[in-house]
Amino acid sequence: MDRRTFSLGVAATAAAPVVVAASGAARAASFAGKTVELVIPFSTGGGSDTWARFIAPFFSKYLPGTPTVVVKNVPGGGSTSGANQFASTARPDGMSALGTSGSTQFPYLLGDPRVKYEYKDWRVVLAAPTGGVAYISSKFDAKSVKDLAKLKGQQLVYGSQGATSLDLVPLLGFRMLGLDVKHVFGMKGRGDGRLAFERGEATIDYQTTSAYLKNSVPLVKEGKAVPLFSWGAIDANGKLVRDPTFPDLPHIEEAVEIVLGKKPSGVEWEAFRAFLISGFPAQKLLVLPKGTPDDILEAYRAATRAMIKDPEYQKNRVTAIGDYEQLTDKAGEELYKEGTTISTEARAWVRDFLGKNYNVKF
């Protein structure tokens, strides 16, 4: 496996120095006696809040001058409110960083008029990938993705948070597989979708890696669920590869090829891939404001490199944030770019599709 595949225990910056003071640029920035805010545009208790509260003590430990680092929750507008506020008010002095998620990226990629922020303006500190697995009820007598043809003429039910939420990825993915899926909107989170599956109200579901391992694998072992495919991971060349956490499962591109007999292509696939990367391999991003000087950016990146090597971080990260390493420097920049970029044609296709099929208005 390429050492920069964005996966379990693989840090693209493993060879980088741990000590922040090793960088001349980092020495130029000091946060001594100051309070740094990690702005999270979501309410407390969710995945982004959990991630931020896990990494905050390490930034306090490794930023020059060991500042106090606090998490500031600014929920609203599906995370657009807090991101807009950060874009308009945050100063480029290192005292404030923003943690975004796929829920922040998706409105940006869709050209949602609520979005007043520009990802190209921000400076990326790190990118944090995740993965996920889709599975189906065992009542359909499908043993793997190869058996999906048996479902022709049968409607599946999926508990969704909304057509423009992170559930846009399964909405488009299931469509490319030729599945007839009724998306029931209104779920507050993927946990609610899983519970609907367990009650038999939903017959197809997906969970992110940590939730799948904890809550869905027992359903597989009990014979109630059949895993179909993972969303995959991105290697150093930007290629979709199997998720190393689930090496025996095909990734979504392989699954489509298995079902259709050919590799997916065209504008629909291009659109899907943009949201796939934004929602999973580049799901969480930590950024600094427009105009942040190089020395402050390097201080944050050096702190990230040190955090990744910290024994306490390594001991607790899988439980706290999942099996995927956080990336900084060039690897983080590349993933950041992929997760926040979509072609004009692909954006137009998705907007038209959502408008015609789900009455989404932009």
* 28 pLDDT tier (thresholds 50, 70, 90): low
- pTM of the entire predicted model: 0.84
User: Two tokens at 166?
Assistant: 């992170």
Q: Can you tell me whether residue 229 is helix, strand or coil?
A: strand
Tens digit of each residue's pLDDT (9 = 90 or more) over 48-79: 888 999 999 999 999 999 999 999 999 988 89
Helices (H), 36-176: 47-62, 80-89, 102-110, 168-176
The pLDDT, as a whole number, for residue 5 is: 43
The pLDDT, as a whole number, for residue 10 is: 37
Angle, alpha carbons 189-193-198 (nearest 5°): 140
Tens digit of each residue's pLDDT (9 = 90 or more) over 157-185: 999 989 998 899 999 999 999 999 999 99
Question: 285: part of which helix (H) or strand (E)?
Answer: strand 284-288
Residue ranges per structural domain of the chain: 20-130+281-344, 132-278
- Hey, how many other C-beta atoms are within 10 angstroms of the C-beta on 73? 17
User: Two tokens at 17?
Assistant: 């120095």
Q: Mean pLDDT in the chain?
A: 89
Distance CA 86, CA 123 (A): 13
Tens digit of each residue's pLDDT (9 = 90 or more) over 205-219: 999 887 898 899 999
Residues with Cβ within 8 Å of 88's Cβ and at least 6 positions away in sequence, in order, are 116
Domain at 132-278, CATH homologous superfamily: Periplasmic binding protein-like II (3.40.190.10)
The DSSP bridge pattern shows strands 96-100 and 35-40 to be: parallel
Second CATH level (architecture) for the domain 20-130+281-344 = 3-Layer(aba) Sandwich (3.40)
Residue 324 reports pLDDT greater than 90: no
Tens digit of each residue's pLDDT (9 = 90 or more) over 305-315: 999 999 999 99
Read off the DSSP letter of residue 244.
T
Tens digit of each residue's pLDDT (9 = 90 or more) over 82-131: 999 999 999 999 999 999 999 899 999 999 999 999 999 999 999 988 89
Tens digit of each residue's pLDDT (9 = 90 or more) over 209-265: 878 988 999 999 999 999 999 999 988 778 899 998 899 999 999 999 999 999 999
Distance CA 123, CA 106 (A): 19
